A = this chain, B = another copy of it.
Amino acid sequence: MVSAKRRATTLRDATREAAKEVLEANLELVRRGLVLYTFENVNGISRSDGLVAIKPSCVPYESMKAGDIVITDLTGHIVEGSLRPSSDLATHLELYKAFPSIGGVSHTHSEFATSWAQARKPIPCFGTTHADYFHGAVPVTDAMSSEAIASDYEKNTGSAIIRTFDDLDYEKVPGVLVANHGPFTCGCGRSCTQRGNSGTRSACCLPYDCN
């Protein structure tokens, strides 16, 4: 049995590590030109601890520190951190619960993917890099109802994503366009060969996304 003190130490270590990785992944989005103000974000999950590390809301990237990253459990309860977590947290928690092998979620408003999302069209697969990552079209969710938008928008966004994967294998299709909104992507691995770093790389590889 691990003592309470030992566990707390381990938890803090895992927390610090997750916070650093999430900070780095967010700064990577900035470097790739996929960020406007503080609207985008990446978060990650430590499956062994059941803890999620997420970007705080409204903190500019220029001054963001690892200590600003908020740590929550899978119910959204804050375990560590004094700032307010990104409003996308409710969406991401739905995804972590529905898709047990994903390690991170990324959300951007990159120009071209957002155009497809706003047109409510899946992005057809025309190229090799697209095929390597998505194994077919990038799917698009159904448009959300006015009720779903007005009642609990972020959580309902998660539900809309999950419904889209009823007939898709989320481990083979690492991203989706939320109709009228933009792309959400996930990552299942960390190494270069596994392709993916908390979803960041998939986000950057969405067809037509990068300059």
Query: A192 and B58 in contact (CB under 8 A), knowing A201-B37, A210-B36?
Result: yes
For residue A204, CB closer than 8 A to chain B, the reply is yes
* A side interface size, CB within 8 A: 28
Docked Cα-Cα span, A115 to B211, in Å, equals 13
State A193–B59 Cα separation when bound (angstroms).
11
Q: Are B204 and A37 in contact (CB under 8 A)?
A: yes
Q: Which of B118, B128, B193, B204 contacts A181 (CB 8 A)?
A: B128
Given contacts A193-B58, A204-B37, contact A127 B211 (CB under 8 A): no
Tell me whether A129 and B39 are in contact (CB under 8 A).
Answer: yes
Encode contact with B along A199-211: 1 for CB under 8 Å, 0 otherwise. Answer: 0010011001011
The 3 tightest CB contacts between A and B, nearest first, are A118-B126, A58-B192, A128-B181
